[in-house]
């Protein structure tokens, strides 16, 4: 039996460069995994089965984890099975990459358990078929992400920081597609924020909240009702600055110490909000 945590991510920067001929968008982003994560427990079994999905609101037969296992079987000719017990801790459709992380974890663990032994670079093609963020989670840590998400360059780890994540009770159908479609030409960038942060990381500078950027913030506050209210809640609880996770609606702030992060977390938790305290990993 093997138990693995499939970690969430935040985008320290997210520059959207423009629309591609294939309908996707080119991005430049510095992604960072954090300690918040779903728990996946793997046990030998004759077939691929997943437990705990219905309790978490997922379809046991149509989800990224099942697709990842099936894709790996088809690509390798492997006919082995596995039972996976899934425990959800990352909120759905929140900009934190939970589903993508779960899928990448399936590829990594099954590649080992089934004795396939592919190098991570060979799993990248399968990850890209599953979703734009899945490739990053094969590497984790701190990374420069480019293309539509499939081009990864690992970066030196940043100094550990605490992250307070506030998930508003906001939903939007086809969220990511809707936000991309409503990015205007004035929202596109040339990747300046990401390039600047990458340079800072490479020379070992301490991460500053002023370096964080997300192109989606130009449209997210129009699309998510009351998102501005939740931003103010974070500030009122002690956050110096507030940033959007991916395409949202989760908001986050960086805290320089556990004590500072814990104070912000408890303030929001006591008010009944869905809030998480995590650290960069």
**Catalytic positions, written as ranges:** 9, 133
pLDDT value of position 71 = 97
pLDDT value of position 278 = 98
Percent of all residues in the chain with a pLDDT value above 70, rounded to a whole number: 100
pLDDT per position as a tens digit, 169-216? 987 778 888 889 888 888 999 999 999 999 999 999 999 889 999 999
Percent of all residues in the chain with a pLDDT value above 90, rounded to a whole number: 83
Whether pLDDT at 268 is above 80: yes
pLDDT value of position 173 = 75
pLDDT band at 56 (very low <50, low <70, confident <90, very high): confident
Residue 73's Cβ-count burial label (10 Å; 0-12, 13-18, 19+) is middle
pLDDT value of position 204 = 94
87's enclosing H/E stretch is strand 82-87
Residues 160 and 207 sit within 8 Å (Cβ to Cβ): no
Q: Which residue, 43, 119, 126, 45, is CA-closest to 80?
A: 45
What is the pLDDT averaged over residues 157-162?
94
pLDDT band at 62 (very low <50, low <70, confident <90, very high): confident
What is the pLDDT averaged over residues 233-248?
96
Whether pLDDT at 77 is above 80: yes
What is the pLDDT averaged over residues 228-254?
96
CA distance linking residue 81 with residue 74, whole number of Å: 13
Q: What is the pTM of this model?
A: 0.95
- For the ranges 110-114, 118-122, 136-140, 170-174, the lowest mean pLDDT is seen at 170-174
Q: Write b or e for each residue in 214-252: b if 16 or more Cβ atoms lie within 10 A of its Cβ, otherwise e.
A: bbbbbbbbebbeebeebbebbeebbbeebbbbbbbbbbb
Residue 192 or residue 22, greater confidence: 192
Q: Are strands 251-255 and 162-167 parallel, antiparallel or unpaired?
A: antiparallel
Q: Are strands 162-167 and 142-147 parallel, antiparallel or unpaired?
A: unpaired
Whether pLDDT at 235 is above 90: yes
Mean pLDDT of the chain: 94
Q: Are strands 48-51 and 213-214 parallel, antiparallel or unpaired?
A: unpaired
Q: Which residue, 12, 267, 4, is CA-closest to 136?
A: 12
pLDDT value of position 224 = 87
Residues 40 and 105 sit within 8 Å (Cβ to Cβ): yes
Q: Which domains does the chain have, with CATH numbers?
A: 2-154 (3.30.230.10), 162-279 (3.30.70.890)
Residues 201 and 193 sit within 8 Å (Cβ to Cβ): no
Whether pLDDT at 6 is above 80: yes
Q: What angle, 0 to 180 degrees and rounded to 10, lies between the N-to-C axes of helices 120-130 and 64-76?
A: 130
What is the pLDDT averaged over residues 226-237?
96
pLDDT band at 150 (very low <50, low <70, confident <90, very high): very high
Residues 101 and 115 sit within 8 Å (Cβ to Cβ): no
pLDDT band at 16 (very low <50, low <70, confident <90, very high): very high
pLDDT band at 24 (very low <50, low <70, confident <90, very high): confident
pLDDT value of position 182 = 84
């Amino acid at each position: 039996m093997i138990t693995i945590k499939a970690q969430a991510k935040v985008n320290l920067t997210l520059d959207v460069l423009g629309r591609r001929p294939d309908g996707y968008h080119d991005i430049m982003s510095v992604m960072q995994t954090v300690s918040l994560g779903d728990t996946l427990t793997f046990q030998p079994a004759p077939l691929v089965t997943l437990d705990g999905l219905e309790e978490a609101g997922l379809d046991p037969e149509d989800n990224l984890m099942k697709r990842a296992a099936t894709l790996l079987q088809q690509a390798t000719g492997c006919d082995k099975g596995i039972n996976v017990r899934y425990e959800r801790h990352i909120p759905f459709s929140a900009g934190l990459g939970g589903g993508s992380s779960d899928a990448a974890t399936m590829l990594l663990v099954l590649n080992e358990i089934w004795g396939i032994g592919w190098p991570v670079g060979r799993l990248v093609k399968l990850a890209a078929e599953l979703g734009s963020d899945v490739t990053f989670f094969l590497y984790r840590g701190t990374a420069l992400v480019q293309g539509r998400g499939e081009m990864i360059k690992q970066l030196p780890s940043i100094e550990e920081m605490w992250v307070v994540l506030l998930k508003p009770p906001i939903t939007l159908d086809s969220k990511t597609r809707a936000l991309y479609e409503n990015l205007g030409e004035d929202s596109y960038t040339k990747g300046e924020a990401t390039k600047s942060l990458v340079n800072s990381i490479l020379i070992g500078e301490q991460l500053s909240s002023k370096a964080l950027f997300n192109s989606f913030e130009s449209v997210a506050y129009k699309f998510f009702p009351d998102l501005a209210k939740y931003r103010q809640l974070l500030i009122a609880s002690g956050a110096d600055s507030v940033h959007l996770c991916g395409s949202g609606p989760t908001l986050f702030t960086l805290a320089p110490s556990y004590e500072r992060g814990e104070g912000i977390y408890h303030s929001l938790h006591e008010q009944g909000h869905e809030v998480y305290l995590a650290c960069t990993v």
